[in-house]
Amino acid sequence: MPLTIRPATTADLPAITEIYNEAGVGTTASYDLAPVTVAERAAVLQHKQRRGHPTLVALIDGETIGFASYGTFRDKAGYNYTVEHSVYVKSGHRAAGVGRMLMTALIDYAKGHGVHVMIGVLDASNETSINFHERMGFVEVARMPEVGRKFGRWLDIVMMQLTFDGPDVR
C-alpha cells in the first residue's frame, strides 16, 4: 500500500507520542529530557490547530509512521510570517523517503498559508538532518554553541532557513 499523508487527528496521538518519545526524547533531535504523554501531545496538537498551524501524519497500511508540523517561531506579531518546523519518522522507516514526503507536504502547506520563512533548529552533531535540510533547500544561517544540555553534555544547535516568495504584505 502506498504512503498517505493527511492532517493529524486525535486518533493519531498515541502513535505521534510514541514516535516523538523514541525519535525526539530518546535522541538529540529534540532537547526534551523526559518522555511526553498523549495528553501533552494532544495539547500541542490543539494549540497548533487553534493557531492555524498544521500537523501532518504519514501512514502505511493505516499505521502512523511519521509526522511533521510547524508552529510559531517567536510569539511576537513581527514574526507572524516565520515558523519553526519539526519532522519525526518512526524507527525502521527512516531513510526511505518518508521524511522528504512529509517535509514536501509541509512546505507546500506553508507556501499556501502565507509563510515567508521556515526555520529548522537542529542538533549540530546530526549531519544526517543537516544534509536532509540542505537537500530540501534550507541554508544554514546560525550556529549556537552549548545552548542545550542533554545526556550529560552541552549541545550546539544549527539553525537552517528556507525562504519562500511572498507573502505580499505591506
pLDDT in tens, 150-160: 999 999 999 99
9-67 pLDDT, tens digit each: 999 999 999 999 998 888 999 999 999 999 999 999 999 999 999 999 999 999 999 99
Asked if 114 contacts 167 with a C-beta cutoff of 8 angstroms, the reply is yes
CB atoms within 10 A of CB 159: 17
pTM of the model: 0.93
Residue 124 has pLDDT above 60, yes or no: yes
C-alpha cell at 157: 544547535
Residues 6+ apart with CB under 8 A from 162: 107, 117, 118, 120, 136, 137, 138, 139
- How many angstroms separate the CA atoms of 42 and 46, rounded? 6
The total number of residues shown for the chain amounts to: 170
Triad 158, 81, 94: Cα angle to 5°: 45
For residue 9, the Cα-to-chain-centroid distance in whole angstroms is 17
